[in-house]
A and B are shown apart, each in its own frame.
Chain A
Amino acid sequence: MNLLAGFALLLLCQLLGEALVRLSGLPVPGPVLGMALLLIWLLTRGQVSASLRGASEGLLRYLPLLFVPAGVGLINHALLLRQDFWVILVTLVVSTLLTLVVTLVTLQGLRRWMGKSDESA
């Protein structure tokens, strides 16, 4: 399987995404726009080539590792982190918990409600 063609397509989409961000001035990162472009391309084509699938799955399998270098950058913010340590920690934990719960309850509730109205219709 030739993974290079798939990887090249990923890079091309990101490049187009970056170019569009600069042209439009949208406050969105290039890769996110690149993802949208690739999705549109796949939807019009109706299938994923073996090469693209291989390259994507290879990258996504190691997605957690890719966050490590940026995370080590926390080392540069030790001072502010120490100053507001408890504010930051409590806020992060409580707010993330609330966000998870609200999202889950809303989505589950809406799906159930709309599922039922579909059945009765």
Chain B
Amino acid sequence: MNPREPLSQVVAGMAQSPLLHLGVTLVAFMLALWINKRARGTPFLHPVLLAILMLIGFLLLTGIDYATYFAGAQFIHFLLGPAIVALAVPLFDHSARIRREFVPLMLACLAGILTAVGSTFLLVRWLGGGEATLASLLPKSVTSPIAMGIAEQIGGFPALAAGLVLVTGAIGCALGPLVFRLLNIKDHAVQGFALGLAAHGFGTAHSFTISNLAGAFAGLSMGVTGLLSAFLIPLLMRLFS
């Protein structure tokens, strides 16, 4: 038999355990889904944002630091890589339509990126934000792994950029349905494309809840926006500052 441990020691040990943080993340997300459903799917209570807030609250209450939490939650985070690769499947399913509309899609993508970067630049300057804030905000519409690289290159904080990318994603998902109604846009492909551009992976995940078609076009615009931005943003930064 193993030696018995006192309860306090067991509790302290479990607070460090990846099992707790993995489990807590899953439970928080399920709870967030349930609350969102109760609120009739309002995008202002987006499940991802709710889950993040609940987990931040949990860490603040228990005094567990983020590194300890992430040691457990990284198993979920790891799946993000293969999930991005998996986007090739819906893209392949809709490749005929993408090929047919290639030119308008790419031009819309370019217009969207220039708007995202240009308006961020002007707004931060106009509102008096600092340089580090600007550099962390510029890649906000870009999928987080690329955004972190861009932020680092132009003098922002990579981790902050990643966080702001997520907040942008939630805001995009909240605003999307309102804008679709206002502009009377019913085509799922167009809806998905705009969400993937403005709100990257977050918008892509949201688009898959609209339809598979919306998800495929969101994945496309997320990928192209990421690739183009990685070259464009550092270049624009050099031109304007």
Contacts and interface: CB of A to CB of B under 8 A. Distances in A.
A32 B223 contact: yes
A80 B160 contact: yes
A77 B145 CA distance: 18
Nearest to B114: A102
A64 B92 contact: no
Nearest to B84: A31
Interface in A62-121: 62-77, 80-81, 83-84, 86-88, 90-108, 110-111, 114
A96 B85 contact: no
Given A67-B201, A70-B144, A103 B88 contact: no
A102 B133 CA distance: 24
Contact of A96 (B81, B88, B171, B180): B171
A111 B198 contact: no
A interface residue count range (under 10 / 10 to 19 / 20 to 34 / 35 or more): 35 or more
Interface string A35-77: 1101100110000100011011101111111111111111111
Contact of A59 (B82, B108, B226): B82
Interface string B82-95: 11111111111101
B104 A28 contact: no
B205 A64 contact: yes
Given A28-B146, A69-B77, A75-B66, A13 B85 contact: yes
Given A77-B163, A84-B133, A96 B111 contact: no
A72 B140 contact: no
B210 interface: no
A72 B59 contact: yes
Contact of B107 (A75, A99, A110): A110
Contacts of A20: none
B124 to A, nearest CB: 6
A91 B73 contact: no
Contacts of B198: 96, 99-100, 103
Given A87-B128, A90-B127, A68 B52 contact: yes
B180 to A, nearest CB: 8
Given A27-B153, A31-B145, A32-B146, A95 B119 contact: yes
Given A100-B172, A106-B112, A74 B56 contact: yes
B51 A99 contact: no
Contact of A88 (B56, B59, B137): B137
B105 to A, nearest CB: 7
A83 B136 CA distance: 14
A106 B111 contact: yes
Interface of A: 7, 10-11, 13-14, 17, 26-32, 34-36, 38-39, 42-43, 48, 52-53, 55-57, 59-77, 80-81, 83-84, 86-88, 90-108, 110-111, 114
21 contacts: A27-B153, A38-B86, A56-B86, A62-B83, A65-B76, A66-B79, A69-B69, A70-B80, A71-B48, A72-B59, A72-B70, A72-B73, A73-B159, A80-B133, A91-B124, A92-B167, A97-B179, A103-B115, A104-B183, A110-B104, A114-B104
